């Protein structure tokens, strides 16, 4: 049975459950897969489901643009091992991604924790890995004013691991800008860091 999510059927589900729309959808999902939402263990699941979705999508990264003056402009900065979780927009299943962010500093340095904050800001939404690394690189460029920015992500996607072929694999995607996009010393140094990590 299909339900029009914008129509009277959903409003009736919400009125019947006395809950918010996400709780009503979770309750309906449980019923559609043959579960009893009233059984022990599931009674509070619709409310937890609704809270989780709101917590995930309403994530507040805090301040992401703390910059510090530097006397060593032009230095390569590499931050690796930033672990984030996101949701595949095609199947609504999670994927994890280990990120390496590199940039050649201009006149200011970005605070270390801000790399992770920016990464989480973009991960806490429906995503694809390619756009995730592109969005992070764009923000690093915008905030720091640096032209030479690289973001490399390696992710495992549960939409492949848990469904379809049901095989685990790691996907690598990158967004390379400025000198990182060209063959040269800076690009070679970045890839040497990636091999060592």
Q: Give the range of the structural domain holding residue 148, as residue numbers without chain letter.
A: 67-196
Residues 23 and 86 in one domain: no
pLDDT reported for residue 10: 57
**Range with the lowest mean pLDDT among 1-5, 31-35, 80-84?**
1-5
**What's the domain count of the chain?**
2
162-195 pLDDT per residue, tens: 999 999 999 999 999 999 999 999 999 999 989 9
Digit-coded pLDDT (tens) for 86-113: 999 999 999 999 999 999 988 889 999 9
Is pLDDT larger for residue 19 or for residue 136? 136
Query: What CATH number does residue 50 fall under?
Result: 1.10.286
Q: Which residues of 112-130 are buried (b: 16+ CB within 10 A; e: fewer)?
A: eebbbbbbbbbbbeebbbe
d(CA 29, CA 181): 46
Q: Looking at the structure, do residues 165 and 83 belong to the same domain, yes or no? A: yes
Q: Are residues 124 and 176 in the same domain?
A: yes
Percent of the chain predicted with pLDDT > 70: 90
Residue 2, in any domain of the structure: no
**pTM for the model:** 0.87
In a domain, 30, yes or no: yes
Same domain, 158 and 190: yes
- Are 85 and 178 members of one domain? yes
Same domain, 87 and 26: no
Q: What is the pLDDT of residue 131?
A: 98
Shared domain check, 185 and 129: yes
Q: 190 and 105, same structural domain?
A: yes
**Quick one: pLDDT band at residue 11, thresholds 50, 70, 90?**
low
Please, what sign has the CA dihedral across residues 27, 30, 32, 35? negative
Q: At what angle are helices 45-57 and 21-32 packed, to 10 degrees?
A: 120
């Amino acid at each position: 049975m299909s339900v029009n999510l914008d129509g009277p059927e959903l409003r009736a589900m919400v009125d019947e459950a006395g809950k918010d729309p996400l709780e009503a959808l979770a309750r309906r999902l449980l019923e559609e897969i043959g579960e009893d939402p009233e059984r022990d263990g599931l009674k509070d699941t619709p409310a937890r489901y609704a809270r989780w979705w709101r917590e995930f999508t309403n994530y507040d990264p805090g301040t992401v643009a703390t910059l510090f003056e530097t006397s060593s402009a032009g230095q390569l900065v590499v931050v690796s091992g930033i672990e984030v979780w996101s949701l595949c927009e095609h199947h609504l299943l999670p994927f994890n991604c280990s990120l390496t962010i590199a940039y050649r500093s201009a006149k200011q340095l970005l605070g270390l924790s801000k790399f992770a904050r920016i990464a989480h800001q973009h991960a806490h939404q429906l995503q694809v890995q390619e756009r995730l690394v592109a969005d992070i690189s764009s923000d690093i460029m915008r905030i720091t004013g640096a032209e030479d920015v690289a973001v490399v992500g390696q992710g495992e996607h549960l939409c492949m691991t848990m469904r379809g072929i049901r095989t685990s694999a790691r996907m690598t995607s990158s967004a390379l800008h400025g000198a990182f996009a060209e063959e040269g010393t800076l690009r070679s140094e970045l890839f040497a860091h990636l091999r060592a990590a």
